[in-house]
Structure 1
């Protein structure tokens, strides 16, 4: 299937591992030029070096929890190739402060907003003007199942990801008439370094193996996942790739769940 995006330039945040990395890989395989970014200079450059076997990729370290990092990314991305970015995939984010709601202070909440909501705001603000000028753009923001099915120990993260979902809808209304399509994806329990760390922690706390920690999580916290496994990064990336393509030209303002059935309601 020709996705109609060969030769375009994409910016992928959170791209040194997991779902961001796999999305970058698939974009490169479709002939898209990629600007890769993440917070750690060594890791993002190493990722770009590996991805270079698939196509043209350049990398820059940027901390998107502050405006300075977003400015660094925008300046680099706009000068990286002979064309300006018309695809943005914002996959950056962390779980952040977790635990009992009453024990999480303002700093924990603000960290969640700065790392899980504001990077989407800042990158969209940086790259949508160029997309409007080009008359074509694709923005895919990473939300989460938590946005519509919050887990009580992750309320700051859940609230921030609900904000991302709302942001995508609002941006789709504002800039759809200019040819800029904006959607959000909602992964659930994907095999990434983030969930690896969560399972490592749970295994140590429960005195069980890593695999047993996954099984317990599926049984106790994710009973809706009918495949009874964690998802794969490439399964999420495939959906992101489609939403970035010309084939998705009538899809905007959508909240696409890639969750194996984890969310157990029709709405959301």
Structure 2
């Protein structure tokens, strides 16, 4: 399907690995010039090189978006690049996956969760969206989580921060009314990345299956996420939806956050 994205420019935050990388690669394959963002130069350059090797266009912007210095470096880099038409706010995640619990996360942990999952997105929106409004076209896409609407007890701070992201996605769409700039979001379920292998091995060990990662995956599917699709989500699943939301084909969609979770969220 033609996405009509050739010649557009996009910043995908947190695109040196995982879901962000898949989004950057998919947009680049559709003709978008992509700014690959990360904190690690080697990993970010690897993604950009992979995009270029396939004929795409990519640049690298480095900076920790939870710090003032890192945020300023990325914003300055985007302005020096000539601005963007598409902003994908992908960075985020739990503050820690080690021994996390509702009462184990301190108030400081909650503030950190909001900083990396919500406030960073707000800062980039303030800095980059006014230029989209001036040009009369743009896309702002938040990568949220199913935890925003069906939170886990052990990920309270993360779910609350993502719920705030859903809320700002809608309020932003109203603030952008009539400008040609839309604001939408995506709520992934459990998406496989190699970082999950340690957790799967732990789950397998608890069930007496040694450190069998595949056994751990199946246990999680059957007993933790309880999906109606019998496979783990892949980063490419999210990238395809983001690519559609970034395209002119989605002109009639704004203020919407779409759940894509293999049927794991037990709510309407």
**TM-score bucket of the superposed structures, by smaller chain:** over 0.9
Asked if 1:210 is matched to 2:213, the reply is: yes
Output the CA distance in 1 between the equivalents of 2:199 and 2:109: 18
2:175 matched to 1:158? no
Q: Calculate the TM-score normalised by the size of structure 1.
A: 0.93
CA deviations on 1:48-93 (whole Å, 9 max, x unpaired) are 111212311000211011232222111112222xx42010111111
Deviations 1:12-59 (A, max 9, x none): 111011111111111111111011101212211121111212311000
1:104-128 CA-partner distances (Å, limit 9, x unpaired): 2122212211221122112212211
The alpha-carbon distance between structure 1 residues 65 and 136, as it changes in their structure 2 partners (threshold 3 A), is: same
Distance in 1 (alpha carbons) for counterparts of 2:137 and 2:243: 16
The alignment status of 1:237 with 2:239, answered yes or no, reads: yes
SS state of the match for residue 96, structure 1?
coil
Q: How many aligned positions are there?
A: 263
Whole-angstrom distance in 2 between the partners of 1:188 and 1:196: 16
Would the aligned equivalents of 1:70 and 1:126 in 2 still touch at CA under 8 Å? no
Range moving further from structure 2, 18-27 or 141-150 = 18-27
TM-score normalised by structure 2 residue count: 0.93
2:261 corresponds, among 236, 240, 259, to 259
Could you say what secondary structure the match of 1:265 adopts? coil
The CA distance in 2 between the partners of 1:200 and 1:180, in whole Å, is 44
| Cα drift, residue 227 of structure 1 | 1.7
Secondary structure in structure 2 of the residue aligned to 1:63: coil
Q: Separation in 2 of the partners of 1:131 and 1:86? A: 6
How far did 1:97 drift? 3.5
CA distance in 2, matches of 1:14, 1:199: 23
Q: Please name the residue that 2:184 is paired with.
A: 183
Distance 2:53 2:177 in 1: 34
Q: CA deviation at 1:215?
A: 1.5
User: How many Å apart are 1:197 and its aligned residue?
Assistant: 4.4
Q: Deviations over 1:188-231 (max 9, x none)?
A: 011124433433444455554211221121122211x1122211
Q: What do you get for the CA RMSD once the two structures are aligned?
A: 1.6
Instruction: Spell out the pairing of 1:8-157 with structure 2 (5 A cutoff).
Output: 8-54=8-54, 55-80=56-81, 83-97=82-96, 99-157=100-158
Report the secondary structure of 2:85's partner residue. Answer: strand
Asked if 1 retains the 8 angstrom alpha-carbon contact of 2:204 and 2:219, the reply is no
Q: Distance in 1 between matches of 2:102 and 2:17?
A: 30
Assess if the C-alpha contact under 8 Å between 1:187 and 1:259 holds in 2: yes
Greater shift, 147-156 or 67-76, is seen at 67-76
Structure 2 unaligned regions, length at least 5? none
Runs of 4+ in 1 over 6 A off after TM superposition: none
CA contact (8 A) 1:94 1:194 kept: no
Unaligned runs of 5+ in 1: none
The answer to whether the 8 A contact 1:45-1:60 is kept is no
- Cα deviation for residue 258 of structure 1 reads 1.0
